[in-house]
Amino acid sequence: MILTHVVACSQNRVIGAQGGLPWSLPEDMKFFRETTKGHIMIMGRKTFDSFNGRALPNRYHIVVTRDPSKQSFNSTESSPVVFVASIEEAVKHAEPLTAKWGDEVFIIGGGEIYKQAMPITDKIYLTLIHREFPGDTYYPEIDEKVFTQTERRDIETPIPFSFLTYLRK
């Protein structure tokens, strides 16, 4: 299993504001959709809530919450949603599913989950927006002793940003 973060963050490391994204970048959303399609996604309960009650099509959702018994969701076969009590449990749950849903499992946030999952992360797809945004949720600094940047693609519109890939050394 490869554990990969997919994240968009601003120059000042902001990833969220008031439960949502502080920007609208259609090209980044397209990248997110194409990258995660058909795969397992692990996320925090607050990030799942930001989907406003809609599971994303053709993805297996594993939602981390301290009280899974409090949560419920009518999921479908093509977009399952399960609730688990820890990141470790999320990874264990994903393991036997990778044959069907792919060996690359995506950690899609938010701030709490990215931070806690960093030590077990193999790869990072970081969309770095070259602007500062106000917000209340942050992405941790990537330790350059641990990760090395392997790819970079610069985009200029509607605001300058870069698609970066990092791999654990």
Strand 2-10, strand 104-107: pairing: parallel
CA distance 5 to 118: 8
For residue 162, give the nearest of 13, 23, 37, 9 by alpha carbon: 9
Is 116 a binder of ligand NAP (CB under 6 A)? yes
Is 118 a binder of ligand NAP (CB under 6 A)? no
CA distance 148 to 165: 8
| Nearest-approach distance from CB 60 to ligand NAP, in angstroms | 17
Nearer to ligand NAP, 75 or 86 (CB): 86
Interface pick for ligand NAP out of 4, 25, 39, 47 (rule CB under 6 A): 47
Nearer to ligand NAP, 87 or 145 (CB): 87
| Nearest-approach distance from CB 29 to ligand NAP, in angstroms | 10
Interface pick for ligand NAP out of 16, 105, 107, 124 (rule CB under 6 A): 16
| Nearest-approach distance from CB 99 to ligand NAP, in angstroms | 26
Nearer to ligand NAP, 112 or 122 (CB): 112
For residue 49, give the nearest of 23, 87, 19 by alpha carbon: 19
Is 39 a binder of ligand NAP (CB under 6 A)? no
Helices (H), the chain: 26-36, 45-49, 87-94, 98-101, 111-117
Degrees (nearest 5) of the Cα angle 126, 144, 134? 45
Q: Is the peptide bond before 110 cis (omega within 30 degrees of 0)?
A: yes
Interface pick for ligand NAP out of 35, 65, 79, 98 (rule CB under 6 A): 65
Nearer to ligand NAP, 93 or 145 (CB): 93
Residue in the structure block whose two tokens are 């809530």: 49
Question: Interface residues with ligand NAP (CB under 6 A)?
Answer: 7-8, 15-16, 19-21, 43-47, 50, 64-67, 85-87, 108-113, 116, 137
